[in-house]
Structure 1
Amino acid sequence: MESLELRHLRYFVAVADAKHMTRAAEGLGIQQPPLSQQIRALEDHLGVKLFVRHPRGVALTDAGGLFLAEARRLLQDVAAAEQRMARLARGEEGLLNVGFTSSAAAHVFTPAALRACRREHPGIALALSECNAAEITESVAASRLHCGLLRVPVARPAGLAFQTLLREPVVVALPIDHPLAGRPGTRRPLSLRDLAGEKLILVRRPGAPGLYGNLLALFEEKGLRPQVAAEVERMMTNLNLVAAGVGVSVVPASMQGQHPHAIVYRALAESARLDAPLTLVYREADCAGPTASFLALMRRIAAEWTGDLRP
């Protein structure tokens, strides 16, 4: 015997339990002579006698008793590892690295979906990272993240899939004391023309490429020149500056819960041209295990959310 294999441990435990070579061989589904040969080879490999042979069967030696405990432990560990790998393959267990942008996290869908994942797949450990859209795309492509939630894709590298889960309108975020904030009963939808002379706060293209580019393009289409007062990396920083009175902004409607005592949110007449998607990005060739379970759950919840229950 050149090396110890699991089958040798199983043979040994079977003989120890049966206390008889022939009965152990029958239980294993093999012939008795080959089993006896394997046990002798195991003893030679270990350098100790494991059994005392007598006419009615076999009995463990002291060394055999010690080795039996170790053999059982090793076989149990292997069985546990096999079971864990099976759960991993079925998507019931494992580590899942998920990235999200701040505006994607602000949508009520996102925490609801993450709660559902923890409830339905308690064996999946979620490692969550906040990044901008460019960072999420790069990290998923480089296998640092399994998947991510963002708004509009920055780029579409080969091998990545982008699935729109939901769409929502955008709104105008104004400091609470801004002249355009208006009184609750008199708030008509604002237009981009209303915002043309305002100090505009935007999330830079890497952070919110679609909204940034589409908004500026729509201003240009209408012959308007917006005054960009600040560009920031994160949507939450954007709203923090609005709350501080630095300027106004256009944000996804799901952000309306932020700074309720400092910001007024108004409908935008051109919202249909600036809708904000919620996009799931993942590697097309890496959709097994926990990733597959997470993607299926996200799609199911998105379908329930929109009422679209088509497969």
Structure 2
Amino acid sequence: MRYFAATAEAGHITRAAERLNMQQPPLSRQIKALERELGVQLFRRKARGVELTDAGHTLLQASRDILPRVQRAIEATQRTAQGEQGQVRIGAAPTAPFNSFVPRVIRAFREAFPRVTLTIEESLSHDLFQRLRDDQIDVAFYRSAPADGAGLKLDSLLTEPMIMAVPIGNPLVKSARRSKLSLRDFADETFIVYGRRLGPGLYDATVAACHDAGFSPRLGQEAPRIVSTLNLVAAGLGVAMVPASLQHMKVDGVRYCPLSGPVQPKALLALASRRGDPSASVRQFLKLVVRMAAASSRPRF
């Protein structure tokens, strides 16, 4: 059809062939093949060129709509194959987006691949891995590794310090004897934990850190999400160990305390995806995340 349109606009097969950077005989054969396929005559041959028949005029009019659409389809197909167009469905554990790395890498990807549609949803780690396996999301920022990683690609991105969320009225906070508290100082406190069954990473990190500090934590009320955990802290029902990036969440009645001493618990931030995912857009996202994580020698929280 491109050959036909070029010939119709030139009004001459030889001139059309020159514009198309091809020889005249192959162009003539293409025009004749198109006429045979359609079963109509498109051109009337004249001594000094060709002119369109009525059927040819109809096809030329249609080609001006069809050819740009075909070109756009070709370009879209090529962009999709290169990962420049498509969709990436992102899952995130509740505390993951508070780490500045997550919004930073998503923003960088949007700038690099503006034609790729991004969707983001929050779930606890257990649900994230299940949704990943069920092809409901493409990648997942998580805190705790799955018990079974079969079929998944797991990339550790960075770690950040854990700190204590403490009620404002807690005597430890009021004490002016030291600027920082060690984890051992909280041995007599009640610890509020969250996501124990469906996202146990931070719960396990809390218990392990307390054991390293020489005591078993006294566990209080269990909260399903980090927001409810901080609300329970604000109500004076206990303390909670949280990733340092949670300091961005300002809650009345809660003070965040960095930890000193030999026990310095860390919170993991990692990315999960399906092994061998065929989506080029997903592969581009993974490459960008891993590259930016490697370049983050000093993560900002």
2:242 aligned partner? 251
Decide which of 8, 27, 38 is 1:16's aligned counterpart. 8
Decide which of 268, 276, 279 is 2:267's aligned counterpart. 276
Decide which of 83, 87, 102 is 1:91's aligned counterpart. 83
CA distance in 1, matches of 2:4, 2:116: 37
Note closer, same or farther for the CA distance 1:157–1:269 as it changes in structure 2 (3 Å cut): same
SS state of the match for residue 79, structure 2?
A: helix
2:66 aligned partner? 74
Q: CA deviation at 1:33?
A: 5.8
Tell me the number of residue pairs that the alignment of Structure 1 and Structure 2 aligns: 296
> Taking structure 1 as the reference length, what is the TM-score of the superposition?
0.83
Kept in 1, the 8 Å contact 2:4–2:31? The answer is no
Structure 1 segments of 4 or more deviating over 6 A? none
Note closer, same or farther for the CA distance 1:222–1:185 as it changes in structure 2 (3 Å cut): closer
Note closer, same or farther for the CA distance 1:183–1:49 as it changes in structure 2 (3 Å cut): farther
SS state of the match for residue 273, structure 2?
A: strand
Letter of the aligned partner of 2:34 in structure 1? I
> Is 1:203 matched up with 2:194?
yes
1:4 aligned partner? none
Note closer, same or farther for the CA distance 1:124–1:215 as it changes in structure 2 (3 Å cut): same
> Taking structure 2 as the reference length, what is the TM-score of the superposition?
0.85
Kept in 1, the 8 Å contact 2:165–2:240? The answer is yes
Identical amino acids, percent of aligned pairs: 33
1:216 aligned partner? 207
Q: CA deviation at 1:294?
A: 1.7
Q: CA deviation at 1:100?
A: 0.8
1:6 aligned partner? none
Deviates more, 1:98-107 or 1:181-190: 181-190
Decide which of 171, 185, 197 is 1:179's aligned counterpart. 171
Kept in 2, the 8 Å contact 1:96–1:146? The answer is yes
CA distance in 2, matches of 1:154, 1:33: 65
Q: CA deviation at 1:112?
A: 1.8
CA distance in 1, matches of 2:171, 2:228: 22
2:233 aligned partner? 242
RMSD: 2.7
Decide which of 110, 130, 134 is 2:122's aligned counterpart. 130
2:253 aligned partner? 262
> Is 1:34 matched up with 2:26?
no
Question: Unmatched 5+ residue regions in structure 2?
Answer: none
Deviates more, 1:233-242 or 1:103-112: 233-242
SS state of the match for residue 292, structure 2?
A: helix
1:166 aligned partner? 158
CA distance in 2, matches of 1:33, 1:297: 50
Question: Unmatched 5+ residue regions in structure 1?
Answer: 1-8
SS state of the match for residue 306, structure 1?
A: coil
